[in-house]
Amino acid sequence: TLVTEHHVGGVFVGGDDTTLLTSGELRSLREGEPLGLVVTVDEEGGRVQRVDALEGPVPSARDMAATMTPAEVEDLARERAEAMAALGVTQDAAPVLDVSSQPDGTVIGDRSWSDDPDVVTTYAGAYAEGLAAGGVTPVYKHFPGHGSASGDSHEGAVTTPPLDELRAHDLLPYADLLPDAPQGTAVMLGHLDVPGLTEDGTPTSLSPATV
């Protein structure tokens, strides 16, 4: 109803229930919506997967970087994107660009490719290219960098290192990847307090300076 009567621009399909993906409803909604409809899932691999019940699981970003070549990651992402596109998905909220050495089970942890910005750039770039080749638009996240934040921003306010430190470390993958990103690539803002960027308690997700 929201799509057909109010022409909302996008639908996010979260959680593990694949009913909406397998029903054909998303494809019919997209075909019938003259203004277009973005259909997003967050399919990263590892702990954050939405179509694993349909297509099988894939490793976490950290595991992929440790065991696969960039070309293999690109091929995996392309195959995954082709499967998602067939289900009506147009956008994947991945890859993660956070640079992090956090333990695996923490908020970023093994969702990060590496604590080395160059490795993150190489592997996240390969994943994004694969998604685009398979017909799904990538989303870089969590800008300007959640990898060194003080906690889990899903649960409350967290603070990152100052902006100058992020520019020298966490923001390097964005600087490297965005100029040549696949067409339509989006950037997801993190919900973060960044000294030198945010002020008055306004998080990056609501900050004009961050945008």
- Write the DSSP string, the chain: -HHHHH--SEEE--SS--HHHHSSHHHHHHHH-TT--EEEE---BTTB-SSHHHH-----HHHHHHHS-HHHHHHHHHHHHHHHHHTT--EE---B-------TTSSSGGGSS-SSHHHHHHHHHHHHHHHHHTT-EEEEEEET--TT-SS-TTTS--B-S-HHHHHHTTTHHHHHHGGGPPTT-EEEEP--B-TTT--TT--GGG-TTT-
Q: How confident is the model at residue 201 (pLDDT cuts 50, 70, 90)?
A: confident
Of the candidates 108, 103, 97, the one whose C-alpha atom is nearest the C-alpha of residue 188 is 97
- So what's the pLDDT on residue 29? 85
Tokens for 88? 């009506």
The answer, as to whether pTM is greater than 0.85, is yes
Predicted confidence at residue 5, as pLDDT, reads: 87
* Residue-level pLDDT at 138: 98
Query: To the nearest whole percent, how much of the chain has pLDDT over 90?
Result: 86
Q: What is the pLDDT of residues 102-144, one digit of tens each?
A: 999 999 999 999 999 999 999 999 999 999 999 999 999 999 9
pLDDT in tens, 7-25: 888 999 999 999 989 998 8
Q: What is the mean pLDDT of the chain?
A: 95
Cα–Cα distance for residue pair 25/66, rounded to 1 Å = 38
**If pLDDT is split at 50, 70 and 90, which confidence band does 27 have?**
confident
- 59 sits in the region (left: phi over 0; alpha: psi -120 to 50; else beta) called beta
pLDDT for 24 equals: 87
CA distance 76 to 155: 32
Residue 160 contacts residue 149 (beta carbons within 8 Å)? yes
Question: Which band of pLDDT confidence, cut at 50, 70 and 90, is reported for residue 47?
Answer: very high
At residue 183, the pLDDT reads 95
pLDDT, tens digit, for every residue of 57-93? 999 999 999 999 999 999 999 999 999 999 999 999 9
pLDDT of residue 181: 97
CA distance linking residue 47 with residue 15, whole number of Å = 11
pLDDT band at 30; cut points 50, 70, 90: confident
What is the share, in percent, of the chain residues with pLDDT greater than 70?
A: 100
pLDDT at site 105: 93
